[in-house]
Amino acid sequence: MKMTTSVSLCYNRYIMNKPDYKKIVQVLNYIAKKSGGEINYLKALKLLYLAERLHLREYGRLITNDSLVAMKLGTLGSQTRDIITMSEYLPHVVYKYVENKLGRDLDKYIIKEKNSETNQLSKTDIYCVDKILNSFGKLSKSELVNLTHDLPEWKKHQYEIEEENLSVVGLDIVDLFKPSSNSSLEKVFSQTDAKLNLSRDLFQESLEQQAQLG
């Protein structure tokens, strides 16, 4: 995965080592529940990514600590994708946990609510997921793909993905603080400069703390 700044290098090393798979599973179950008990898995990937982006801009941290990437179908969380698609690269402990907690039918391209626990999720986590579901939950999977293609963090890597045929590019997390030219996105991601500066500072502080802890 391509990283472009020292901040993103530090961030992605930490995130790729410590994604919170329990939170990922709980959020996916929550999204499925709010969508009538099941949801197309590509839609779930996109909605969770947008919730991660919103939480970062509002509160200075991600919901799940997933490693965020750009691919041909837009932006998403790397381990979230592995969990949904039952990747063989998942650690065994994660695979067993997911099998017990999340319903998946890859023949029908859906995930199903299997467990209603939300004890790992904070009030702000749920607030951001709900806001994204209320704003974008009725969009089709293709509409959500197009929406994520309008995000600046995807546009930054569009040439590499479409012309250089890179399958996946690690995102520079600071790009998630940039504005989009899409009016639908800006209605949701319209934080003030003061709010964004505070969230960036909080995020940077968390990076420094993690670096000190090794």
At 22 the pLDDT is: 97
Task: Say yes or no to pLDDT of 176 above 70.
Answer: yes
Per-domain boundaries in the chain: 6-197
Tokens of 189: 């991601």
Q: Got the DSSP string for 23-43? A: HHHHHHHHHHHHTTSEEEHHH
Task: Say yes or no to pLDDT of 58 above 60.
Answer: yes
- The pTM score is 0.91
At 214 the pLDDT is: 62
Task: Say yes or no to pLDDT of 135 above 50.
Answer: yes
Give SS3 for 201: helix
Q: Report the pLDDT averaged over residues 171-183.
A: 95
- What share of the chain has pLDDT > 70, as a percent? 92
At 207 the pLDDT is: 84
Q: Report the pLDDT averaged over residues 128-143.
A: 98
Which of 56-60, 191-195, 209-213 is the least confident region? 209-213
